[in-house]
């Protein structure tokens, strides 16, 4: 009886030891990040073998292909280049745009790649990478609507914007300047486009590059741009403040792609 008990105890201890060893392997879950800014994440990412990226779907930067179900886009290819540089796989977590930076600060993701503009407000909350693309806000209207030709024609209009995005900030700035407009905020660009098509809003503020691609891909939507961009913005990647090692890798990849011509290849692939 005692021998059987000893054997069972030894087996249990061996199993426990095996679990402990497994916890040190590359596939082990990363430690709890109750205070994300207190440690450098790059070694943890390398050990886990996984780069967790928070995003929201934005055609043509990050979106699910309707035919294949594959998650693709400009930012997806850029993220893959970063993951390859680190030597890990990618785990994408999708959420509303308004939740992205909060998820990052809580340690739920290693970075945010979501065709996000670099702004002073965001840089107070997180560290942003160097710019990887130039763009800006633009006005979108229904084809055949001749009442809007510029920002000067917005009085009395209802504007669709994305919640907590630059589009919302720009619309609020117009109200502060005395424009008589109404704002309707939506969780995604797709919802903004649907609201415009249905007549729920009169115009939408959207990123210029995104809208050019959207109009080309969805001609049946019968939407068009009003001129070019009326702001100058740059896309960046967000990491938690103080993550200098991770940010350095991100910037190295961005600059390498720009210098060796791969950024031009990405532009031609996704934005032309």
Any idea where the domains of the chain sit in the sequence?
36-134+234-271, 137-231
Beta-carbon-side half-sphere exposure of residue 55 (alpha carbons within 13 Å): 25
Q: Say whether domain 137-231 belongs to CATH 3.40.190.10.
A: yes
Strands 137-142 and 223-226: antiparallel
Nearest CA to 166 out of 127, 122, 203 is that of 122
Nearest Cα to Cα of residue 82 among 267, 270, 248, 235: 248
Give the span between the Cα atoms of 213 and 248, in whole angstroms: 31
Residues 197 and 220 sit within 8 Å (Cβ to Cβ): no
Decide whether 36-134+234-271 matches 137-231 in CATH topology: yes
Hey, what are 165's tokens? 């995005």
> Count of CB atoms within 10 A of residue 134's CB?
12
Structure tokens at 40: 């450098």
Please tell us whether the domain made up of 36-134+234-271 is placed in CATH 3.40.50.150.
no
Q: From CA 165, how far away is CA 188, in angstroms rounded? A: 10
3-state DSSP assignment of residue 243 = coil
Q: How far apart are CA 21 and CA 260, in angstroms?
A: 42
pTM: 0.84
Residue pLDDT tens, the chain, 272 long: 434 444 344 444 444 334 333 343 334 444 545 566 668 999 999 999 999 999 999 999 999 999 999 999 999 999 999 999 999 999 999 999 999 999 999 999 999 999 999 999 999 999 999 999 999 999 999 999 999 999 999 999 999 999 999 999 999 999 999 999 999 999 999 999 999 999 999 999 999 999 999 999 999 999 999 999 999 999 999 999 999 999 999 999 999 999 999 999 999 999 98
Residue 178 DSSP SS3? coil
Residue 103 token pair: 């998820």
């Amino acid at each position: 009886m005692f021998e059987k008990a000893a054997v069972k105890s030894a087996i249990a201890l061996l199993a426990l030891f095996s679990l402990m060893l497994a916890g040190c392997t590359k596939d082990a879950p990363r430690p709890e990040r109750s205070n994300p800014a207190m440690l450098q994440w790059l070694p943890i990412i390398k050990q886990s073998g996984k780069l967790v990226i928070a995003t929201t779907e934005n055609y043509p930067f990050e979106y699910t292909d309707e035919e294949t179900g594959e998650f693709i886009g400009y930012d997806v290819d850029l993220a893959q280049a970063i993951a390859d540089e680190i030597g890990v796989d990618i785990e994408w977590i999708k959420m509303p745009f308004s939740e992205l930076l909060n998820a990052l600060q809580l340690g739920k993701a290693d970075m945010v790649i979501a065709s996000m503009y670099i702004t002073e407000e965001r840089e107070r909350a997180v560290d942003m990478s160097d710019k990887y693309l130039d763009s800006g806000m633009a006005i979108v209207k229904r084809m055949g609507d001749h009442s809007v030709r510029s920002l000067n024609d917005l009085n009395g209009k209802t504007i669709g914007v994305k919640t907590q995005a630059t589009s919302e900030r720009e619309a609020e700035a117009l109200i502060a300047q005395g424009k008589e407009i109404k704002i309707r905020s939506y969780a995604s660009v797709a919802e903004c486009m649907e609201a415009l098509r249905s007549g729920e809003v009169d115009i939408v503020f959207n990123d210029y590059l995104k809208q050019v691609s959207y109009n080309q891909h969805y001609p049946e939507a019968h939407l068009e741009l009003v001129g070019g961009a009326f702001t100058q913005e740059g896309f960046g990647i967000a990491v938690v403040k103080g993550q200098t090692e991770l940010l350095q890798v991100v910037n190295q990849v961005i600059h390498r792609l720009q210098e060796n011509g791969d950024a031009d290849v990405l532009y031609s692939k996704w934005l032309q």
